Every structure is written in structure tokens, then in C-alpha cells.
Amino acid sequence: MNFILTTERLHLQPCGAEDLMRLHRLWTNQHIRYFLFDERIISEDEARSFIQASLDSFNRHNYGLWLVYCQNQCIGFAGFLDAEEAPNLIYGIHPDCWGQGYATEAARAVLTYGLETLSLPRVNADVDEPNTASVRVLQKLGMKQVGHATVNHHPLLYFTT
């Protein structure tokens, strides 16, 4: 199966072992890690295990994490994390490229692939309440807020399709 996704401006390609350093740099960027990893600087080994989990997930479910390219430059990632109830949508764009609609465009491509090509019955997303840009992305995708909770002192909002 061909997992490459394209949009008007973007090209999305499943991440592989060769993307370790690129993804580790992105995931440890201070503006990306702030909400994604609660500011924690993840190790290269952790990044490697996320990539392996994505490879396994593509094998089992035909979804995982994609790298997002704009004019041959890697600007971010988007995809689904395997979860019990339904796959969880995640995304991140390099801060140099924020505010140009790239997260929405990439996440929409992934979501459409999941719902239409794979016929997933549902996709979920959870987001830190203060992460207003991410909340806005989910709203622009048409996802609905279905709950909120405080987890480890962090207010979280739950969205679903």
C-alpha cells in the first residue's frame, strides 16, 4: 500500500529509521516539546522507539506518523498514535513555519485518509487547554470537543470526529 499523501502545498511521507535525527531535533525544539512532551527533552532512544512504534503501526493498521514536507523541506509531522478506543491525531510544525495553515493542511490530509481511505469509525485528539493554536486546528478540522479533565495538573480537552 502506498502511504504517501499529498495536498496542495504539502507532501507527507511515513517516517522511517533514517529520520531519527531529523525527528529528534524537531521533537526537542523548545517550542514543539512544550506541549508535546510537557517540555521534556526526550532522548534519541525514545525518539527511535516512537519511530519503531509508527513502523509497527503502519504494518498493523496502515497508519502511523508521517513527516510533512513543503518544497522538499521537512517542516513537521502529523499522524495517528494507536490507542485503545480510537486512533489519536497528533501533529507539529516547525515554529519557523507556524501561522501559515500547514498544521491544518497536514492534519486534514491525515484525517481524511483515516476516515475515508481506511474507513476508521472515529478519530480522537486530546490537547492541553492552553495550547490555543492546536485547539484552533482541531476546530478548523471540524472535530468536536467532547470532554475535559485535569491530568497531572494539566487541563486537557478531548476532541473527536
- Contact positions vs ligand COA (CB under 6 A): 32, 35-36, 90-93, 98-104, 127, 131-134, 136-137
Q: Which of 91, 86, 115 is nearest to 10 (CA)?
A: 91
Per-residue cell: 148: 475535559
Least distance (Å) from ligand COA to the CB of residue 17?
Answer: 22
Three-class SS state of 129 = coil
Give the residue with the Cβ less far from ligand COA, 37 or 44. 37
Give the residue with the Cβ less far from ligand COA, 58 or 108. 108
Give the residue with the Cβ less far from ligand COA, 2 or 84. 84
Q: Which of 52, 63, 56 is nearest to 1 (CA)?
A: 63
Q: What are phi and psi of 90, to 5 degrees?
A: -135, 160
Give the residue with the Cβ less far from ligand COA, 1 or 126. 126
Least distance (Å) from ligand COA to the CB of residue 127?
Answer: 6
- Measured N-to-C along each axis, helices 20-28 and 44-61 cross at an angle, to the nearest 10 degrees, of 110
